[in-house]
Amino acid sequence: QLQTVESGGGSVQAGGSLRLSCAVSGWPYSRYCIDWFRQAPGKEREGVASIASDGRTNYLDSVKGRFTFSPDSAENTPYLQMNSLKSEDTAMYYCRAVVGSVGAGGYCNGRIMADWGQGTQVTVSS
């Protein structure tokens, strides 16, 4: 079973930026789809953004225009660049890796090959 390792979280002030990485060691497949979810205390986990190797992406409405994926030279999956952070972005962020693509529902469709890791905490102070 492959494992994801999330990193890049931290504490920033509102308006600041962070870059999250989702590392999956030994990914043997030519295709991938990465889901980023987040969970704030007392709230349900929600999908934030997804990206597939075929170029398809999807973003939660509240992060559109602020979050975007960019190539990560250090990892085999793009990193999630988060700009103009708001206090409501405060949460634990998790990723998972799927062999598939972004489906009509906005999340990755396919076989989950690397499930959620330990997460990385993002704290935004106003």
For residue range 38-97, list pLDDT tens digits in order.
999 999 999 999 999 999 999 999 999 999 999 887 777 899 999 999 999 999 999 999
Q: What is the pLDDT of residue 27?
A: 87
Q: What is the pLDDT of residue 28?
A: 87
Three-state SS sequence of the chain: CEEEEEECCEEEECCCCEEEEEEECCCCCCCCEEEEEEECCCCCCEEEEEEECCCCEEECHHHCCCEEEECCCCCCCCEEEECCCCHHHCEEEEEEEEEEEECCCCCEEEEEEEECCCCEEEEEEC
Higher pLDDT, 71 or 123: 123
